[in-house]
């Protein structure tokens, strides 16, 4: 009786326990049951949609409120939206090196992240494998990694500018150095976490080193590796905006800074949304990939 009451507090007291128990599941189903069967997927979709939608609406309301309070120095959602439709109407125009469409800025930033991140993967993942496999190497590299990892990626920018003498390679270098640590460390941790049983199978079969790597180590480490890659791409995307602000040229970060100099605050807000959306898309793509690569492990 008491259990039934806690589950359905709206129930009138004094009703027999059996009725309460049978009423509870029916009560929970009413929203679904009321709709004809053909509409049930729609009902489920609406249920799924409502909370995030409410959150977004609350956010936009709060934004317009703050905008009102600032007496127009912070643009509101409506003027930002108008500005965005204008901006995205022609994303790939080119009026000289300092005035290019939003599309070019996004692609340039993505390109730099891609190159820096790709180089970090090419160096970091094999290094992570070796550090995970050979304890000596792990102890050898530990002090250097521990020392360099907490350094803010932007601190490496002057070094990049000094060595490469150009803005674009310097920002690629910053991406490289900021995304290599999670790849090394997660890959190494993944190699260390390969179950001894799998390695015993390899030993009993006397598999060649290449087979051990391709059939056992690589698939076993893949989920850990992808976690590293995901963390890395998150950092890389965070860092690129800051790096481009400092180096200039074409790119989202530069664009933000340029629009600040033009005092076009709508565009800065749009840039923030674009950075957020692209970051979200990158993250989701890697989450999807990691799920694909987990082979039902950990189920």
Partner 1 sequence: MERFVELENVQKHFDTKKGRFVALQDINLTIRQGEVVSLIGHSGCGKSTVLNIIAGLLEPSDGIALCNGREIDGPGPERAVVFQNHSLLPWLSCYGNILLAVERVFGAKEDKAQLAARTDAALALVGLSHARDKHPHEISGGMKQRVGIARALAMEPKVLLMDEPFGALDALTRANLQDEMVKIVDATGSTVVMVTHDVDEAVLLSDRIVMMTNGPAATVGEILEVQLPRPRNRLALAGDADYHRYRGAVLDFLYQKHRKEAA
The CB-of-206 to partner 1 minimum distance in angstroms stands at 6
Residue labelled with tokens 């049978």: 22
Which residue lies nearer to partner 1 by CB, 54 or 193? 193
Rounded Cα distance between 157 and 177, Å, is 10
- Burial annotation 158-179 (CB, 10 A radius, 16+ → b, else e): eebbeeeeebbbbbbbbbbbbb
Sole binder of partner 1 in the list 16, 89, 206, 209 (CB under 8 A): 206
Q: 100 - beta bridge partners?
A: 94
Binding residues with partner 1: total (CB under 8 A): 18
Among the listed residues 216, 225, 236, 282, the single contact to partner 1 using CB under 8 A: 216
Binding region for partner 1 (CB under 8 A) out of 15-23, 57-65, 198-206, 258-266:
198-206
139's enclosing H/E stretch is helix 135-148
Within 10 angstroms of residue 100's Cβ, the number of other Cβ atoms is: 20
Work out whether 209 is an interface residue with partner 1 (CB under 8 A). Answer: no
Q: Is 210 a residue that touches partner 1 (CB under 8 A)? A: no
E-only strand ranges, the chain: none
**Which residue stretch of 79-87, 183-191, 194-202, 233-241 sits at the interface with partner 1 (rule: CB under 8 A)?**
194-202
Minimum distance between the CB of residue 292 and partner 1, rounded to whole angstroms? 11
Token pair recorded at residue 66: 């703050």
What are the angstrom distances between the C-alpha of 213 and each of 124, 221, 223?
17, 10, 15
Would you count residue 290 as binding partner 1 (CB under 8 A)?
Answer: no
Beta-carbon contacts of 98 under 8 Å, excluding residues fewer than 6 positions away, are: 258
Copy the structure tokens of residue 36.
């004809």
In sequence order, what are the residues at sequence separation of 6 or more whose Cβ sits closer than 8 angstroms to the Cβ of residue 294? 222, 223
Q: Token pair of 137, please?
A: 């190497």
| Residue 294: CB minimum distance to partner 1, A | 9
Q: x/- binding map, residues 151-190, to partner 1, per CB under 8 A?
A: ----------------------------------------
Contact between 207 and partner 1 by CB under 8 A: the answer reads yes
Q: For partner 1, which is the closer residue by CB, 108 or 212?
A: 212
164 vs 198, beta carbon nearer partner 1:
198
**Least distance to partner 1, CB of residue 221, Å:** 11
> Would you say how long the chain is, in residues?
299
Residue 200 binding partner 1, by CB under 8 A: yes
Residue that is written with structure tokens 């400092």 in the block: 246
134: contact with partner 1 by CB under 8 A: no
Pick between residue 102 and residue 225 the one whose CB is nearest to partner 1: 225
């Amino acid at each position: 009786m008491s259990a039934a009451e806690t589950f359905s507090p709206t129930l009138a007291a004094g009703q027999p326990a059996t009725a309460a128990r049978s009423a509870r599941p029916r009560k929970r189903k009413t929203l679904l049951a009321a709709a004809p069967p053909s509409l049930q997927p729609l009902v489920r979709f609406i249920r799924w949609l409502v909370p995030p939608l409410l959150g977004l609406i609350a956010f936009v309301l709060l934004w317009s409120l703050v905008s009102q309070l600032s007496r127009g120095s912070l643009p509101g959602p409506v003027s930002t939206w108008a500005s965005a439709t204008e901006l995205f109407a022609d994303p790939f125009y080119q009026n000289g090196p300092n005035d290019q469409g939003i599309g070019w800025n996004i692609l340039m930033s993505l390109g730099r992240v891609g190159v820096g991140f790709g180089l970090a993967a090419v160096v970091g993942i094999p290094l992570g494998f070796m550090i995970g496999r050979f304890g000596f190497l792990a102890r050898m590299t530990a002090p250097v990694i521990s020392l360099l990892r907490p350094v803010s990626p932007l601190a490496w920018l002057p070094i990049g500018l000094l060595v490469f003498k150009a803005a674009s390679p310097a920002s690629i270098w910053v991406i490289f150095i900021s995304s290599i640590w999670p790849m090394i460390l997660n890959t190494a941790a993944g190699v260390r976490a390969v179950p001894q049983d799998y390695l015993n199978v390899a030993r009993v079969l006397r598999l060649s080193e290449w087979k051990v790597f391709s059939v056992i180590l690589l698939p076993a480490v893949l989920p850990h590796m992808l976690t590293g890659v995901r963390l890395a791409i998150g950092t890389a995307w965070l860092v690129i905006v800051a790096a481009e602000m400092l180096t200039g040229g074409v790119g989202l970060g530069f664009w933000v800074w340029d629009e600040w100099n033009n005092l076009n605050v709508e565009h800065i807000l749009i840039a923030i949304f674009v950075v957020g959306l692209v970051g979200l898309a990158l993250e989701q793509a890697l989450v999807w990939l990691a799920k694909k690569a987990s082979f039902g492990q950990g189920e």
